[in-house]
Amino acid sequence: MTPPLSAPLLRNGAPWRTAWKGLWLMAVAAVHTVFAVVEFLPQWNEIARRGVFDSVGTDPMLGAVVWFGLFGIVLALLGWAIALLERSNAAALQALRTLGWGVLGLALAGIVLMPASGFWLALPPAMALCRGTRR
């Protein structure tokens, strides 16, 4: 007799099918950061040429590139925190829900301001976190 089919488990016993939101955001962050390096390589080279420290100055393009690149790091940290909370006890559910509303607000603001962007990729985990009833 074979055991019933179930989702693969993470190390702490949480099924992959319910603890995916943090990993999703970390994957999006990795793609975002690689894109930032590849797409804006000339601007990163200019920052290096200027000696890095105070290299952005008043150049709006360099400022935008730096913020674009740094956002990938912030998104990765958020994904990591969510991944840890997803594997935690029931007390973490309220924190996850609050983070979900924050991610949803950020994603919607980004979609309104820039519809042709990657902000859409934050909607699935944000909405799942907002539901909060299922881990």
Q: DSSP of 50-85, one letter per residue?
A: TTSTT-STT-HHHHHHHHHHHHHHHHHHHHHHHHHH
Q: Using alpha carbons, list the distances in angstroms from residue 103 to 5, 84, 99, 111.
A: 33, 16, 6, 12
Query: For 4, what's the count of Cα atoms within 13 Å in the CB-facing half-sphere?
Result: 1
Q: Which of 15, 38, 35 is nearest to 27 (CA)?
A: 35
Q: What is the pLDDT of residue 97?
A: 84
Dump pLDDT digits (tens) for 11-60. 555 555 677 888 999 999 999 999 999 999 999 999 999 999 988 888 99
Q: DSSP of 4-44, one letter per residue?
A: PP-PPB-TTS-BTTTS-HHHHHHHHHHHHHHHHHHHTHHHH
Dump pLDDT digits (tens) for 68-117. 998 999 899 899 888 888 887 666 777 788 888 988 998 998 888 788 88
